[in-house]
Amino acid sequence: MEIIRSVDQMRRRSAEFRDAGSVVALVPTMGALHEGHLSLVRLAGELADVVVVSVFVNPTQFGPSEDFERYPRDLDEDARLAADAGADVVFAPEAREVYPAGFETVVHVQKLTRKMCGAFRPGHFEGVTTVVAKLLNVVRPNVAVFGQKDGQQAAVIERMAADLDMGVEIVRGPTVREPDGLAMSSRNAYLSPEERKDALVLHEALEYAEQLYRCGESDAALLLDGMRTLIGSVKGAEIQYVAAVDAKTLEDVPELGPGVMFALAVVIGKTRLIDNVVLGERKRGEEAGGSHDDG
Amino acid sequence: MEIIRSVDQMRRRSAEFRDAGSVVALVPTMGALHEGHLSLVRLAGELADVVVVSVFVNPTQFGPSEDFERYPRDLDEDARLAADAGADVVFAPEAREVYPAGFETVVHVQKLTRKMCGAFRPGHFEGVTTVVAKLLNVVRPNVAVFGQKDGQQAAVIERMAADLDMGVEIVRGPTVREPDGLAMSSRNAYLSPEERKDALVLHEALEYAEQLYRCGESDAALLLDGMRTLIGSVKGAEIQYVAAVDAKTLEDVPELGPGVMFALAVVIGKTRLIDNVVLGERKRGEEAGGSHDDG
């Protein structure tokens, strides 16, 4: 496996891959790779001949009071893990080459970024879309793989790629969870043992909503209320948002159905965690018309 | 010559050109082609094997009170002129395909766009950079040619292409002028015969500044004052700005030298015209140290 540190070298290498007729996949990451990332790398390997994993802790997507400085970094370990998962290239550019003096261009998806995480992290998605646009322009992959765990991010990237005619297929890989249900995240490393237990409430709230949906409940507001109550019962958990939205357009939906995403952000101690679940088809017999009586 | 109306077809055709090993140049225009555009098409022909001329009157770069509706449109004539100048493809997409329902992404160069034309046309450059990013993503040319006549636009596009790692060379083609000096512009067609005479003051002001620079004058403020006085003497001319800036960074410069751009925007009647000149090297003997005495 190759490790490439320079933008020009990555651009040249990627052109060689294309000239050789290879289908190229990009998996953009901030490193600190865990099983969630690695599942995306393996998925990319099924979709493409060449898998490029970018590792770049992007300063512009962190707010001034956020965890840019302490975000975990270990390129050697990331490269080892990426290689084991089937990566052909780890692209780890230096910040001074990504953002040279005089840099001043942003790519901004205007509406999808206003709500949910965007409302609590001003500038975050602008940082994400700008750096992802750059990575896509350097690597020019046929397909780029993002985690469903960052569900709003996936929707925002899909919108950007379509709006700017980027000619890349955006694929979402499923969320990978710890055995007890906690969604894998590099930020889980910040949790104390007690917080680690409290953090389970994110998954529990999503499971609660998904199960009631499966049992025939269709009223989003009712389930959002229940989720808030459930999370509110955990002393160390502070809700930022709980939402039921269309997984692609992120529009609030009053009525549940396939493609609706329950998404939430909860601060556990000082660690901000997000998670979501996208509802599937109800199995035949699960649908219960008028299951919820307003009266 | 081919005329392509669909984004997907243009993308496929461009991939064929690249696969055949051709160097591709793009000349983005809003149509109403005049000799200025055609000189860019010919320049593109010198730089590339295949020349694509895009013709798209981009609604998002016009302000609500500007001339989008009456902007001249004649695709047949544009195609004929482009073909004569050596274009291989005219790419003329429909607005509904360029901006489908739900479109919401913008590319924004934050600083270079604040001054000069940007200060008088809010949102204009965001419209330009967004549509040019899209055109570049669809055509993926090796080189894209822009007119020096729109000097700030050229600087903004160069910045965007570099910042977003677009991997395209941006080339500026020189301004083409009518025999009496008026810079070619599709908007010259709006001028009445009397306004047409008044409009000469843009070029006269630039000539005045350039000649004094050649004679050894280095004080930008002094020449800007002289230009304002000169333009102010024309009753039908209303100055929006007169500036002396670095042609690449657009930073104001107090002292003149090679690479400094005198740029101006002047409203003649109801027609807004722009023009500029980039200073070259002074010939030996022209330089006059301390030519301007403050005392």
* Residues on chain B touching A138 (C-beta within 8 angstroms): 165, 167
User: How do residues A96-145 score in pLDDT, each as one tens digit?
Assistant: 999 999 999 999 999 999 999 999 999 999 999 999 999 999 999 999 99
Interchain contact A4–B (C-beta under 8 A): no
| A:B CB pairs within 8 Å | 78
| pLDDT confidence of residue B285 | 57
Q: Does residue A291 form part of some domain?
A: no
Nearest residue to A40 (alpha-carbon basis) of A131, A148, A135 = A148
Residue B22: closest CA among B88, B109, B116, B91: B88
Q: Report yes or no on A260 lying in a domain.
A: yes
pLDDT digits (tens, 9 = 90+) for A4-50: 999 999 999 999 999 999 999 999 999 999 999 999 999 999 999 99
The domain spanning residue A134 has which CATH number? 3.40.50.620
* Tens of pLDDT, residues B168-197: 999 999 999 999 999 999 999 999 999 999
Out of A105, A139, A173, a domain closes at A173
Residues B88 and B226 in one domain: no
Q: Which helix (H) or strand (E) holds A8?
A: helix A7-19
Q: Tell me which long-range contacts B120-123 makes (C-beta under 8 A, separation of at least 24).
A: B120/B240, B120/B241, B120/B265, B120/B272, B121/B63, B121/B66, B122/B63, B123/B60, B123/B61, B123/B63
Q: Please tell me the predicted confidence (pLDDT) of residue B293.
A: 46
Q: Which of A105, A109, A159 sits opposite B164 (nearest CB)?
A: A105
- Comparing CA positions, the residue from A29, A126, A133 lying closest to residue A74 is A29
In a domain, A178, yes or no: no
The amino acid that residue A48 corresponds to is A
B13 within some domain: yes
Tell me which residue in B105, B137, B166 faces A108 most closely, judged by beta carbons.
B105
pLDDT over 90 (residue A286): no
Distance from CA of A115 to the nearest CA of B (A): 14
Q: Is the pLDDT score of A153 beyond 50?
A: yes
Do A195 and A73 lie in a common domain? no
Tokens of B275: 């023009």
The pLDDT assigned to B282 comes to: 83
Question: A49 and A116, same structural domain?
Answer: yes
Task: Indicate which residue of A34, A37, A108, A124 is catalytic.
Answer: A37
Contact B277, B261 (CB under 8 A): yes
What digits encode the pLDDT tens for the residues B125-151? 999 999 999 999 999 999 999 999 999
Gap between the Cα atoms of B278 and B274, Å rounded? 14
Residues ≥6 apart with Cβ < 8 Å to A231: A201, A202, A205, A237, A239, A242, A264, A266
- Asked if A121 and A211 sit in the same domain, the reply is no
Residues A97, A7: contact at Cβ < 8 Å? yes
Check pLDDT > 80 for residue B283: no
Read off the tokens for A154: 């996936």
Q: Indicate the residue of A103, A159, A165 with minimum beta-carbon distance to B138.
A: A165
Catalytic residues of B: 37
Is the distance from CB of B143 to CB of B171 less than 8 angstroms? yes
Amino acid, res. A258: P
Q: Say yes or no to pLDDT of A166 above 70.
A: yes
Q: Give B-chain residues touching A157 at CB under 8 angstroms.
A: none
Q: Which of A118, A152, A173 lies at the terminal end of a domain, its last residue?
A: A173
Convert the pLDDT of each residue in A217-239 to its tens digit.
Answer: 999 999 999 999 999 999 999 99
Contact status of B23 with chain A (Cβ, < 8 Å): no
Contact flag A105-B110 (C-beta cutoff 8 Å): yes
Angle, CA of A38, A22 and A1, to the nearest 5°: 45
For range B147-156, the mean pLDDT: 98
* Nearest to A27, CA basis, from A62, A56, A58, A7: A56
pLDDT at A293 over 50: no
- Give me chain A's average pLDDT, please: 95
Chain B nearest C-alpha distance from A111 (Å): 7
In a shared domain, residues A204 and A156: no
Residue of B nearest to A109 (CA): B105
Alpha-carbon span B117 to A5, nearest angstrom:
39
Number of domains in chain B: 2
Using a pLDDT cut of 90, give the percent of chain A over it.
95
Same domain, B32 and B146: yes
Helix (H) or strand (E) holding A12, with range, is helix A7-19
How far is A209 from A279, CA to CA, in rounded Å? Answer: 10
Task: Please check whether residues B75 and B162 belong to one and the same domain.
Answer: yes
Cβ–Cβ below 8 Å for A134 and B164: yes
CB contact under 8 A, A107 and B112: no
A150 and A190 housed in the same domain: no
pLDDT score at A284: 62
In a domain, B295, yes or no: no
Predicted confidence (pLDDT) at residue A76 exceeds the cutoff of 80:
yes
Tell me the pLDDT tens digit for each residue of B98-120. 999 999 999 999 999 999 999 99
* Mean pLDDT value of segment B90-101: 97
Average pLDDT over residues A131-160: 98
Q: Please report whether residue A290 resides in a domain.
A: no
Between CA A54 and CA A3 the distance in angstroms is 10
Task: Look at residue B121 and tell me whether its pLDDT is greater than 50.
Answer: yes
**B20 at the A interface (CB within 8 A)?**
no
CA–CA separation, B107 and B92 (whole Å): 21
Same domain, yes or no: A192 and A149: no
Token pair 């269709």 is found at A218
Point out the residue among B104, B107, B110 whose CB comes nearest to the CB of A159.
B104
Is residue B294 situated within a structural domain?
no
Residue A260 sits in a domain whose CATH number is 3.30.1300.10
Whether residue B105 is found in the same domain as residue B24: yes
> The domain containing residue B232 runs over which residues?
186-278
> Which of B173, B195, B229 is the last residue in one of the domains?
B173
| Residue B137 touches partner A, C-beta closer than 8 Å | yes
Decide if pLDDT at A294 tops 90: no
- Nearest CA-CA distance, residue A153 and chain B, Å: 14
The mean pLDDT of B29-56, rounded to a whole number, is: 98
How far is B24 from chain A, CA to nearest CA, in Å? 16
Tens digit of pLDDT for each residue in A46-69?
999 999 999 999 999 999 999 999
CB proximity list for A32: less than 8 A, separation 6 or greater: A71, A72, A73, A74, A78, A186, A189
Residue A154 lies in a domain: yes
Q: Are B168 and B32 in the same domain?
A: yes
From chain A, pick out residues whose CB is under 8 angstroms from the CB of B160.
Answer: 105
pLDDT at A290: 46
State whether B167 and B249 are in the same domain.
no
For residue A144, what are the contacts with CB-CB under 8 A and spacing of at least 6?
A: A25, A26, A27, A28, A132, A136, A157, A161, A168, A169, A170, A171
**Region B248-270: what's the mean pLDDT?**
97
For chain B, where are the E strands, in sequence order?
2-4, 24-29, 50-55, 89-91, 105-109, 143-147, 169-173, 237-246, 260-268, 271-278
